[in-house]
Chain A
Amino acid sequence: MSLGYYFLLPVIFSFLTPYFKKLGSFTLRGSSILLSFILFVQSIAYTTMKLPQISQFSIKPPLGIAFVLDGYSLLFLLIFTFSAVIVSFYMLWYFKVNPKRDEARFYVFFNMLIAGSIGMILSCDIFNLYIFFEIVGICSYTLSAYNKDKLGLESGIKYLIIGSIASIFIVFAIMLIYLQIGTVNLGLIAQRFHEIDPKISVLIVLMLFIGFGTKAELFPMNFWAPDIYQGSISSVNGLFSSVVAKAYLFVFFHLFYLFGLSSKYMLFVMVIGAITFLVSEFTALNQTNVKRLFAYSTLGQLGILFMALSTNSSETVSGALFHLTSHSISKLLIFLALGILIHHLKSTKISIFGDFKSRFLTIIFAIGFLSILGIPPFSGFVGKILILKGFALSHNYSAIAFILLVSIVEAVYFFRLTAMMLDKKGTKRVVHVGFINYILLCVLAALIVIFGLFPSLLIHYTDLAANALINPTDYLKFALGVGL
């Protein structure tokens, strides 16, 4: 299967959605599951093939546009398609308990969101990348406004305004690059980026930084992020946390290493990441809304990832990618379970953690929390210790101390929630999880435990990804169309 189908199939399914809707909700829901399943299985098939893979459309790159799949994008492809499978199954439950929702509207944008995210990680052409960026943007604006109430619309509008700012910066950067180099192919840009006049190059880098950094929720640009999480439904929160934010992060570091910026801007990105981590974790302590709380937690984890991914050492980067995968799974787990809780208790206050009675959900939340905190034997631990080990090898002890100290702050609110769940006092309402969710949450929790106990299953891919990210020679060869 050509890589183009990763984009084409969801788009076709998206456009066929009105037709599926006529055929009945079963077809509609089934089609989305089928689509995400096809994409996921195909992604697994790619793990056995030789990488990088390329799909060109009519003209050979660097003139024509192409999709390139290397180790780095493969990891993200697996995460995205897996999240899509889980969320599409979860929506079966969601639409069962909320029968009056507009299903077609959700599935159109859900499919397109997956298409756009995958397009962003596969595209080897900066302008196409921008188009996918906008597709993801439009879909996420609409999905965050899926509840057409005050809060939903407010979050949609806010997201749209911020997205517009980010896209202006990115368009400007792309134009400057084209004016300087005369190409939009990532390979050619990467080869000739150092030829650009230093002042213009600083401008381009800053614009890309602001554009993608805003979307990837870095500190001084992330004041909007918790609002968006608060206004949208839980499954969309899960998607934002494990797919959308990760896609922007992917592009950020893809360009960061491709353009050879790591030596010059490493410290800068690391400091920004550290500040993001610090501020978000401290802010999260004071939250009374669960969705905002987990939004801040997501921001904090993104901060760690920014710190670790910018180090230019394959060990740390591999650890960070492991942490990223584990964080995606854990946050998906938490947000989906949270959706069940919010549905039953009709509240988003933090006190709902003390009000429910379900041993299964308690265990699920506990696994999620422990994994995010990096406590063995869950997958978060491996990621965190690999990151710390990487920092130690480069003798960056201040980063280690910083991460560990702020992690204690993080533990405060996670264990406050845990203690509320375990507290026996007060009236508790029984929460029925539902059969589908039972299986989904079990799968996610099992993955967290399996990756914690047998990390080598995943480390193979993160190593591959880290090497592809830091030494993009293979990627460049394919992006330039050499030997095709």
Chain B
Amino acid sequence: MLDFFNSTQSIHAIIIVGSMALFFIGFYGIATQKNLVKVLVSFDIMESALFLFFIGLHYKVGLVAPIVDDKTKTFTGMVDPVPQAMILTTIVIGLAILALGLSFGIEYYKLTGRNDISKMNELRD
């Protein structure tokens, strides 16, 4: 049983299913929620799902993290470091956008007392 779960394929399957579930939770969030904070959180959930999906699919059983120290002699047996670097960058960007969005939301709330995105309709003809 454990062996079954320890195979690369089943780990990938779990990750795909799990991250897709997470993705659609986020999807559901942005489709139904109208509170700005909840929408931003939904975006973050969707992004997290993507990160999990991407990192997870690049993990293979038996490989180690791509961290080089003094003892490392060969570079075999490591997972691909590029996705991890990419995801780290993307996380930072996502964080920045989340912070920006929240700060906009706070200022907007202070001015109008509203945080419902479907009621932001003063910009119209």
**A–B direct touch, CB within 8 Å, in complex?**
yes
Question: Chain B, interface size: which category?
Answer: 20 to 34
- Does more than half of chain A's interface fall in helix, strand or loop, or is it mixed? helix
Q: Knowing A127-B86, A138-B100, A156-B104 touch, does A227 contact B47 (C-beta < 8 A)?
A: no
What number of A-B contacts does a CB cutoff of 8 Å give?
94
Shortest B24–chain A CB gap in Å is 13
CB atoms of B39 and A178 under 8 A apart: no
User: What 1/0 flags go to B88-106 for Cβ under 8 Å of A?
Assistant: 0110010011001100110
Segment of A98-106, A285-293, A412-420, A443-451 in the binding face: A285-293
What is the minimal beta-carbon distance from A364 to any residue of chain B, in angstroms? 25
Interface size grouping (class) on chain A = 35 or more
Contact call A178/B83, Cβ cutoff below 8 A: yes
Q: Is the CB of B90 within 8 A of A171?
A: yes
Interface residues of A in 122-153 (CB under 8 A from B): 127, 130-131, 134, 137-138, 141-142, 145, 148-151, 153
> In the complex, what's the smallest C-beta–C-beta distance from B53 to chain A, in angstroms?
7
A residues 164-210 with Cβ under 8 Å of B? 164-165, 167-168, 171-172, 174-175, 178-179, 182, 184
Known interface pairs A154-B122, A160-B101, A286-B125; A148-B107 also in contact (CB < 8 Å): yes
Contact A151 B123 (CB under 8 A): yes
A154's contact among B47, B80, B97, B120, by CB below 8 Å, is which? B120
- In the complex, what residues of A have CB within 8 A of residue B90's CB? 130, 171
State whether A153 touches B111 (Cβ < 8 A): yes
Q: B36 at interface (Cβ–Cβ under 8 A)?
A: yes
Choice from B36, B40, B50, B100 contacting A172 with Cβ under 8 Å: B50
Asked if residues A289 and B125 are in contact (CB atoms below 8 Å), the reply is: yes
Inter-chain contact A184/B82, CB cutoff 8 Å? yes
Instruction: Kindly list chain B residues whose C-beta atoms are within 8 Å of the C-beta of A227.
Output: 123-124
A178 adjacent to B82 (CB under 8 Å): yes
Nearest B residue (CB) for A182: B80
Q: Give Cα A457 to B80, complex, Å.
A: 49
B54: chain A residues at CB < 8 Å are 175, 178-179
Q: Are A171 and B108 in contact (CB under 8 A)?
A: no
Partner of A231, one of B46, B80, B123: B123
Query: A84 to nearest B CB, angstroms?
Result: 23
Which residues of chain B have a CB within 8 Å of any CB of chain A? 30, 36, 39-40, 43, 46-47, 50, 53-54, 57, 80, 82-83, 86, 89-90, 93, 96-97, 100-101, 104-105, 107-108, 111-112, 117, 120, 122-125
CB within 8 Å of B: which residues of A? 127, 130-131, 134, 137-138, 141-142, 145, 148-151, 153-158, 160-161, 163-165, 167-168, 171-172, 174-175, 178-179, 182, 184, 226-227, 230-231, 286-289, 292
A-B contact pairs, 20 of them (CB 8 A): A127-B86, A138-B97, A141-B97, A149-B111, A153-B111, A154-B108, A154-B122, A160-B101, A161-B39, A161-B101, A164-B40, A164-B43, A164-B97, A164-B101, A165-B43, A175-B83, A178-B54, A179-B57, A288-B125, A289-B125
